[in-house]
Structure 1
Amino acid sequence: MKNFKKIITGLVVLFALSCSDDILENDPVSSFSAQGFYQTSADAQAGVYGIYDAVQSTFRVNFSYWGEGRADAVNTNHSGDPLALQQNTLSKTITSARWNNIYETISRANYAIKYIPEVFETESEFSLQLIAQARALRALSYFYAVRVWGDVPLITEPYESVEQEFFIEKTNKDEVLNQVIADLIFASENCRETFSGEDTRILFTQGAANALLTHVYMWQKDYENAIASAEEVLDNNLYSLVSIDDWSKIFTSGYSNESIFEIGYDETQTNGLRTLYAVGSDSDYFPSESFRDAFEDNDLRKNLIYDTTKENPKKIWKFFGEGFNDESPEPSSNNIVLLRLADIILLKAEAHNKLNEVDEAIRLLNLIRTRAGIEALSETEAIDMYGDVESAILHERLIELSFEGHRWFDLVRTGKAIEVMNPINGLSDEANLVWPLHEDALNKNPKLVQNPFYN
């Protein structure tokens, strides 16, 4: 049993909460005003667990729709969001254009951040680390919001009175990211270094905050700070690369030494991994031909990622193990690994290369390559094979982090989305890189303006 306590909370002002020994088991028993709920330290902890619950809902399928669906590693035979994302025919009615769950997470975080200090007579390490987790989860939510929609409403206070402004305009994405960084710096200083057992991988720690900071700095092209935050992760003895023999266990079992932050699920709180990738002929996504052709000879990961026994494979078994053959469309209880060490190593390699520190970039790149059984590259060999060192690193991210929700963001972040996707689906306008705002958000908030490409 995953040692992850869960509390269910309700919408905006009402919380339906129940304390249980397992955060992944829920049995809502009553409703409370958020203002009245925070009375004891146990309430404060329960409120933070409620934020994790909202994160589970946010990412159960969207980690893939947002991070993989518009990129080149997947194909689909499904209608709805998978087809719209692949063909770049996004509209204001597609499911992945909804930000409801993201703002539910932010709302719960805002309540916790405001009311936890009032629970404790004096500031304590415990109160600070609870607030730090809430701020980290708010930062995670806003970082995805900016990468998906661009400018978004920035809300940092809970809604508690009719006298407050209910309709909020969009905030410039740079200002939102400034808040994200402030939250993550606070989290990196005040989150716990570690928890007992498996909780270290599914609750926000200092290491997880630094890993997410690395992503944010890379998105901002702040390479020096990205390197500094990445070094905090690499120097943390909680994290180490697993051997290739245990590589699949990162995803099939979870809680590996390579894992930095996972979203925890179980038989009650499930996600869409099976229907996204593993139902075979009826999954949302299967590996594209260009992805299958991207592997170098002798790459030991290939057979661990997709069904190589088929000429036209339809099954991605990275998350369930080589040979996985369960055609059930039932939801999955596997954790979703959102941040792991190989990801941060490759981001750090990319940052060093941007600063013309090529030797260090190559060294880090080769840590991941040699684990996979492929030969280490020199700078010259990287250029000969991939055109430049950056492309060699991005190619390694394509393979190593395949289907984990990074590819689309990597293409956008590095300015390669149009170059890669134009021949596939005609993507040609930078204004098209963000999603449209969903029609429900536009109808409910008259101050919101649709993203220009979709007007």
Structure 2
Amino acid sequence: MKKVIAVSVRLILLLLYVLMISACSELLDVAPPNGSIVGDQPFKNIATAKESIMGICKTMGSTPNPVCGGSILIALYSGEAVQLGTNSDQQEFASGFISPTNGTLGTVFWMAPYKIISQINFCIEGINNSKGIAAADKSQLTAECRFFRALVYFHMMNVFGAVPYITSTDYQVMQAQGRDNPDKVMDSIIADLQYAKMELPVQYPIGYKVIANKYAAMALLARCYLQQQKWRLAEQECKGVINSGMYQLEPLDSVFVINSKESIFQVLPQNMSNYSMETMLIYPTNSLYPRIALSDSLIRQFDTGDQRKSHWVKTVMIDQDTFYCPYKLKKGFRSAVDTFPIELTAVLRLSEMFLILAECRLQQGDLAGAAANLNMVRRRAGLSAVGVETGVISADKMKSLIERERQFEFFTECGINWYDLVRSGKVDVVMAQIKKDWDSRRRLWPIPKIDLEANKNLTQNPGY
């Protein structure tokens, strides 16, 4: 009976979510068509199809999920951040052991992404079955959707390993599909991104960087190839983005503002007057104090003179205690008068392309090239450049410098540092020092219990 109820509830939620596809017209000045979009109307023509895709943007920015907001929970898990509140689900993330019954795990990292994926798949099917959309437009709109799908699955794969890679809109298929192994999932992600790279335009489809262009697909491809250690392919994608001339490093306080020149892809908040999802999780509007702070170990490791510590970290006093909170996104952060510009969650940034390129060049024996790209990010942070002219910097030292730069450039961002720790092979050594009774199997998180009960074809990760 419990299984039937779970399946029914999820089907109802998915149906409701798909029907809730709506335009962000007020936010993005996209004029809605006359009347409501219901039934077969979302894909009647290109205008209504675009509104349906904007609905994906709205969904991604309106509720915590692995792409938007989930990074704060990953930071708790990795030891990058500490919990100041008393939420029991978050306490499990902070402890380094998440139970399969953890409600936040199931909602944020499983239910929410599969709702988004369902919405994406319905859009792809509707667009391609439409008789009112030209073939060329179908290709671009499909590419926009496939980028979103690849992005969501990239994050799911990194926390769960094997996951069902669903492309069907058939509910029976969706509810019964088993887990696909990580290699197959990554191949599917890359296939989506290669299609997106081919079909997306150079210019952003709307006035904001919340719908992907060609370079967003290339940037995410670079991240995928980096994880696969395909250095040459990752280098090619990074160089394509960097050499496009469309992006440049911004001053530290401007990195996360809307349409920042550094941002390659951003997530739209529920509406433009809202704060980012990350800020709301760190500093809820009904709270006098932050719920999340950076760990003392992270704060102690900042280099002297690193301007990121003064620009991206906020000191907060609670009683007589001092805490250091993430302050990359400033709007809404305990401001008596909020005069900060609109900020969006940054999913892909130019600084990441420089650091991926540095790592790729190092792995291919080009220490000078690695240093040149590393120094682009170091100089922006107020740090001195490193060089190889004297021969004193070895490949191992350069590797350590790149890893360190990524740690302080991307703290609390998109799970990047946790994914780096896992792919580095150092995860067990590091986590055993900061999490009690660490078990190496915990590098992957448990599949939520309710989903295991609802789908007999799902299997649990070892150790849970």
Tell me, in whole angstroms, the C-alpha distance in 1 between the residues paired with 2:29 and 2:460: 38
Q: 2:142 aligns with which of 102, 122, 131?
A: 131
Q: Given the alignment of the two structures, is residue 451 of structure 1 paired with residue 461 of structure 2, yes or no?
A: yes
Using the aligned pairs only, state the percent identity. 26
Q: 2:84 aligns with which of 70, 77, 82?
A: 77
Q: Is the 8 A contact 1:77 1:83 kept in 2?
A: no
Residue of structure 2 equivalent to 1:346:
355
Q: Given the alignment of the two structures, is residue 261 of structure 1 paired with residue 265 of structure 2, yes or no?
A: yes
Q: 1:431 aligns with which of 408, 423, 441?
A: 441
Distance 1:261 1:382, change over 3 A: farther
Cα distance per residue 1:303-355 (max 9 Å; x no partner): 1021358673243322107x964389xxx973111110001111111122122
Tell me, in whole angstroms, the C-alpha distance in 2 between the residues paired with 1:309 and 1:166: 46
3-state DSSP of counterpart to 1:202: coil
Distance 1:427 1:181, change over 3 A: farther
Q: Given the alignment of the two structures, is residue 40 of structure 1 paired with residue 45 of structure 2, yes or no?
A: yes
Q: Is the 8 A contact 1:167 1:447 kept in 2?
A: yes
Q: Given the alignment of the two structures, is residue 216 of structure 1 paired with residue 224 of structure 2, yes or no?
A: yes
Distance 1:96 1:326, change over 3 A: farther
Distance 1:170 1:234, change over 3 A: same
Distance 1:333 1:439, change over 3 A: farther
Q: Is the 8 A contact 2:44 2:132 kept in 1?
A: no
What does 1:151-170 align with in structure 2 at a 5 Å threshold?
Answer: 151-159=162-170, 164=173, 166-170=175-179
Tell me, in whole angstroms, the C-alpha distance in 2 between the residues paired with 1:389 and 1:277: 34
Q: Is the 8 A contact 2:127 2:133 kept in 1?
A: no
1:268 deviates by 6.5
Q: Given the alignment of the two structures, is residue 119 of structure 1 paired with residue 130 of structure 2, yes or no?
A: yes
3-state DSSP of counterpart to 2:458: coil
Residue of structure 2 equivalent to 1:55:
60
3-state DSSP of counterpart to 1:255: coil
Cα distance per residue 1:373-431 (max 9 Å; x no partner): 211112466559xx622221111111122222321111112222222221000465442
Cα distance per residue 1:265-288 (max 9 Å; x no partner): 135766432343346973232121
1:150 deviates by 0.5
Residue of structure 1 equivalent to 2:100:
92
Moved more, 74-83 or 208-217: 74-83
Distance 1:36 1:169, change over 3 A: farther
Distance 1:427 1:152, change over 3 A: farther
Tell me, in whole angstroms, the C-alpha distance in 1 between the residues paired with 2:437 and 2:234: 29
Residue of structure 2 equivalent to 1:16:
20
1:264 deviates by 1.2
1:151 deviates by 0.4
Residue of structure 2 equivalent to 1:3:
none
Tell me, in whole angstroms, the C-alpha distance in 1 between the residues paired with 2:383 and 2:47: 50
Q: Given the alignment of the two structures, is residue 296 of structure 1 paired with residue 307 of structure 2, yes or no?
A: no
Give the root-mean-square deviation of aligned CA atoms.
3.1
- How many positions carry a matched residue from both structures? 431
1:48 deviates by 1.5
1:144 deviates by 1.0
3-state DSSP of counterpart to 1:11: helix
Q: Is the 8 A contact 1:97 1:435 kept in 2?
A: no
Residue of structure 1 equivalent to 2:182:
173
Distance 1:12 1:182, change over 3 A: farther
Residue of structure 1 equivalent to 2:451:
441
Letter in 1 for 2:381: A
Moved more, 309-318 or 430-439: 309-318
Q: Is the 8 A contact 2:283 2:290 kept in 1?
A: yes
